[in-house]
């Protein structure tokens, strides 16, 4: 690796570390749980695991086999 590419790589690392250091974090699960619960309740109507998927729009349904005798 040449010197200039090494400097460029280190600048990217420093930039990423600065970005990560500026993120505000919620400490512990007790702090994040109410926000997570609120998000889940707000988006429950769009969750296919809760509402189900119609058989006509389900891409994972078994394909019908067409066979000729």
In the chain, domain spans:
2-57
Q: How far apart are CA 27 and CA 58, in angstroms?
A: 39
Residue 52's φ and ψ, nearest 5 degrees, are 85, 170
Q: How far apart are CA 21 and CA 16, in angstroms?
A: 9
Amino acid 38: pLDDT: 94
Q: How far apart are CA 45 and CA 52, in angstroms?
A: 10
Mean pLDDT of the chain: 85
Better-scored residue on pLDDT, 17 or 64:
17
Quick check: 31 and 37 in contact, CB under 8 A? no
pLDDT of residue 14 exceeding 90: yes
- Write out the CATH class of domain 2-57: few secondary structures
Amino acid 41: pLDDT: 94
For the whole prediction, is pTM greater than 0.85?
no
Amino acid 53: pLDDT: 78
CA dihedral 61, 59, 43, 32 (to 10 degrees): 90
Better-scored residue on pLDDT, 52 or 6:
6
């Amino acid at each position: 690796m040449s010197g200039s590419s090494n400097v460029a790589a280190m600048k990217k690392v420093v930039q990423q570390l600065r970005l990560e250091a500026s993120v505000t974090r919620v400490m512990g699960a007790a702090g994040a749980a109410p926000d997570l619960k609120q998000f889940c309740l707000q988006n429950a109507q769009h969750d296919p695991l809760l509402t189900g998927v119609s058989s006509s729009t389900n891409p994972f349904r078994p394909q019908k086999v067409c066979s000729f005798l």
